[in-house]
Structure 1
Amino acid sequence: MSSSAITPRSSLRTIALCFVVALLEGLDLQATGVAAPHLIREFDLSPAALGWVFTAGLVGLLPGAVAGGWLADRLGRKRVLIAAVGLFGLFSLLTAHSASYAQLLAARLITGLGMGAALPILIALSSEVASRELRNMAVSLTYCGVPLGGACAALIGMFSVMGEWRLVFYVGGVAPLLIAGLLVLWLPESRPAGSHPLSLAQSANALFGRPRGRSTLLLWCSCFCTLMILYMLLNWLPTLLAGRGLSRLDSAFIQVLFNLGGVFGVLLAGRLMDRQRSLLAVALVYPGMLLALAALGYVEQVQLLYAAGILAGACAVGGQLILYALAPRLYPDDVRATGVGVAVAVGRLGSMSGPLMAGQLLAAGAGVGGLLVATSPLLVLAAGSVAVVLRFEADA
């Protein structure tokens, strides 16, 4: 989108549309976790088999993010985003009508393709239309939709009639199809700044050549580790809490608080980054994530578990926002969606690994303590990697 085409009104409308799409993506991302206890009974799933249901959707996110970002840089953001939203809406509906375990896996896989393609475009669009001093906050406001959508999914799970697990997938399917029509009408067309889109080789050189190569690899490392932990929590939190003896209502309420905490973490991290306090955001987020994980595993009082849920959401989702707000700043206009898309895709490798690792550890009887031991080194690595990228950026 050329700077001459950007007006305050069009910027606000674009960010609002991106927020709504992010909200629907957040709802669908957590729909499987909300429906998990019902899926176990409906399809007679073991913990390991349920882990593969979670992972199937996340597998689709990876190629979707790479393809979505690259196609958006070549064909324009608008048309690729509309196609992505329509795809994940349609296959969310098909998830509700899965008649077998194989159909359930296939529906989640293709849903993930659409969601994966949408996210880097949302980040690139919101970053491009905002002024420089508010760019991180624009990405934050857009990304707030993801945890709010997760909270909506948890609320649907709490109030679904007679435990009807399909309701969350109906909402997550119909709403994106309706929003796709609004995108056709209201989202302005956007193309990369350059008149000739970069080839695949030129895009790769822009990511890995001087001066961005080291920052790209360190960003990927932090994305992998951070999303591994985040998606382990998003998918397994209701089941872990139920295993500790909490009621379905308490477990769902903690998941709502997790997502509301995520909104707070996203806004705080974005504000700190706009005020040039990015390292402080990192210092708050990653130790806080470790503390929250320990509390969720070992605290007995329900009220303290509520607080731990808020802290876990603020830190886990806030950490993801730091990475997603940082990524567009590293790359020029003609490769921005590609750079963000590949970083998101590498993060998706972590998001695929997290639920699967948790499922295998729990099936082996490791319990919450085993999950804490496995995740602690990853938190240290994630924090160190993003801190070095921020230092490189400050020295540039």
Structure 2
Amino acid sequence: MTKTAALRTSGGRALVLAFLAAVIEGFDLQAAGVAVPKLAPAFGLTPPQIGLFLSSATFGLIFGSLSGGWIADTWGRRAGLVLSLLTFGVFSVATVFATSFEQLLVLRILTGVGLGGALPNLINIAAESVEPGRRGWAVSIMYAGVPLGGAIASGVATLGLHGGDWHMIFLVGGLMPLVLAPFVQLLLPPLAVVRQKVSSATGGFAKLFAPESLVGTLFLWLAFFLGLMVVYVLLNWMPQLLVARGLEKSEASLVQLMFNVGGVAGSLIGGRIFDSARPIGPVLLAFAASAAALIMLGILPVALALMLVGGALVGAAILCMQAILYATAPQCYPFEVRGTGVGIAVAVGRLGSIAGPLFTGLLVARGATPTDVMFSLVPLTVLTGVFTVVLLFRRSRREAFA
């Protein structure tokens, strides 16, 4: 086997492992939402407690994203991913044995730490497993695993495959990463050997604000914050908004499932767009399509068939947008601080994932209709597109003068 063929084989193996890890991550991210209808009565949880439990993982995700990126730069991408898989696997399994609300809360936060640490490593592993011209495609393949995992979790809930037992969701969600971790350790090739270790977390952070990186860092943070606001409003509020428009709960769940299925296709399209010879024009069209899809979902007549198609189109458009953003992030930093840079950007995005549902809750409390909520996401989507295009323009200028 030639050296080039060997590199392609090892890169393909890395991408398969990253994709499988992303599927498991997507499943575990939605595990709490799937389990809560049975878990809440078992523990006698009040609505505020349910809300706190569902959002608790997000706080862990923020810390995990920060630490996972730094570990990737210090100890390598493989070590960062294995530690993340073990962390969210162990604490997801431990959730099965929780006997109080306080234990549920702590274990979900700790599960979130592992989930948060995985994504920066997965983004960098995917981007670094292929040649530069195919990085968008590789990141989109990996990222497609997240909505696929979410669709599997939604399908399990819709079809009742968990037998109505909330324990099974967390047990399966915890065992999968524990099974995958040894394979990652043994089979993931050393594609990302650290060539220049960052001396400290502070030193790595300072490089993100060096003159050549400052504008890119700030625009990347803004894009991640606004982009994740939109995604998490749809993940958390879309079923309730659809029910408010007249759908049954079971029908709204089907639309949410189609959102995830559409998201898989959209992620793959986003990668192809990013890798095109002149991506700025297609990226602008992708973000315009995302804004149009939100408007469409807000004004569609309340009919299940139309809503299923609308949900799939919105999922495809919004997660196409997100895949483009994730593919852009590794391009903003040199190798030695790429893990730290991507990790902090993901952490800032997690702040957006908290702000988005809170923002929507405030709108609904003030009397906003479901259509109003969908329309409110349009300017956020447009701004995300503007910041992403600026980042791509800066990349093209760097390549032109290289």
TM-score by length of 2: 0.89
Give the direction of change, closer, same or farther, for the CA distance of 1:366–1:273 in structure 2 (3 Å limit).
same
- Partner Cα separation in structure 2 for residue 53 and residue 290 of structure 1: 31
Which residues of 2 match residues 136-215 of structure 1 at below 5 A?
Answer: 136-161=136-161, 162-189=163-190, 191-215=192-216
Range that drifts further, 23-32 or 153-162: 153-162
- Partner Cα separation in structure 1 for residue 334 and residue 157 of structure 2: 42
CA deviations over 1:306-349 (Å, ceiling 9, x no partner): 11111121122111111110111111111111111111111111
Give the direction of change, closer, same or farther, for the CA distance of 1:112–1:170 in structure 2 (3 Å limit).
same
CA contact (8 A) 1:76 1:190 kept: no
2:114 corresponds to which residue?
114
CA contact (8 A) 2:223 2:383 kept: yes
- Partner Cα separation in structure 1 for residue 183 and residue 108 of structure 2: 25
2:18 corresponds to which residue?
18
Which residues of 2 match residues 1-396 of structure 1 at below 5 A?
Answer: 7-39=7-39, 41-43=41-43, 49-161=49-161, 162-189=163-190, 191-299=192-300, 300-362=302-364, 365-372=367-374, 374-396=376-398
Q: Can you give the 5+ residue segments of structure 2 that lack an aligned partner in the other structure? A: none
Q: Can you give the 5+ residue segments of structure 1 that lack an aligned partner in the other structure? A: none
- Partner Cα separation in structure 2 for residue 107 and residue 354 of structure 1: 24
CA deviations over 1:258-298 (Å, ceiling 9, x no partner): 11111111111110111134323432333333333344444
* CA positional deviation for 1:32: 2.4
* CA positional deviation for 1:34: 2.9
* CA positional deviation for 1:69: 0.7
Question: Which of structure 1's runs of 4+ aligned residues deviate more than 6 A?
Answer: 3-6
- 3-state DSSP of counterpart to 1:144: helix
TM-score by length of 1: 0.91
- Specify the code of the residue in structure 2 equivalent to 1:306: L
CA contact (8 A) 2:286 2:317 kept: yes
Identity %: 40
- Specify the code of the residue in structure 2 equivalent to 1:278: P
Range that drifts further, 24-33 or 40-49: 40-49
- Partner Cα separation in structure 2 for residue 250 and residue 204 of structure 1: 46
- Partner Cα separation in structure 1 for residue 299 and residue 48 of structure 2: 23
- Partner Cα separation in structure 1 for residue 21 and residue 244 of structure 2: 33
Give the direction of change, closer, same or farther, for the CA distance of 1:254–1:369 in structure 2 (3 Å limit).
closer
CA RMSD of aligned residues (A): 2.5
Range that drifts further, 322-331 or 28-37: 28-37
Range that drifts further, 203-212 or 287-296: 287-296
- Partner Cα separation in structure 2 for residue 13 and residue 319 of structure 1: 26
- Specify the code of the residue in structure 1 equivalent to 2:52: W
- Partner Cα separation in structure 1 for residue 330 and residue 147 of structure 2: 21
Give the direction of change, closer, same or farther, for the CA distance of 1:351–1:99 in structure 2 (3 Å limit).
same
How many residue pairs match? The answer is 394
- Partner Cα separation in structure 2 for residue 284 and residue 92 of structure 1: 40
- Partner Cα separation in structure 1 for residue 263 and residue 103 of structure 2: 32
Give the direction of change, closer, same or farther, for the CA distance of 1:236–1:39 in structure 2 (3 Å limit).
farther
CA deviations over 1:40-61 (Å, ceiling 9, x no partner): 5445556554433332111111
- Partner Cα separation in structure 1 for residue 262 and residue 320 of structure 2: 9
CA deviations over 1:239-268 (Å, ceiling 9, x no partner): 433444434442232222111111111111
- Partner Cα separation in structure 2 for residue 344 and residue 245 of structure 1: 35
Give the direction of change, closer, same or farther, for the CA distance of 1:196–1:39 in structure 2 (3 Å limit).
closer
* CA positional deviation for 1:167: 3.1
* CA positional deviation for 1:301: 1.2
* CA positional deviation for 1:104: 2.6
- Partner Cα separation in structure 2 for residue 107 and residue 393 of structure 1: 41
Range that drifts further, 328-337 or 51-60: 51-60
Give the direction of change, closer, same or farther, for the CA distance of 1:281–1:168 in structure 2 (3 Å limit).
farther
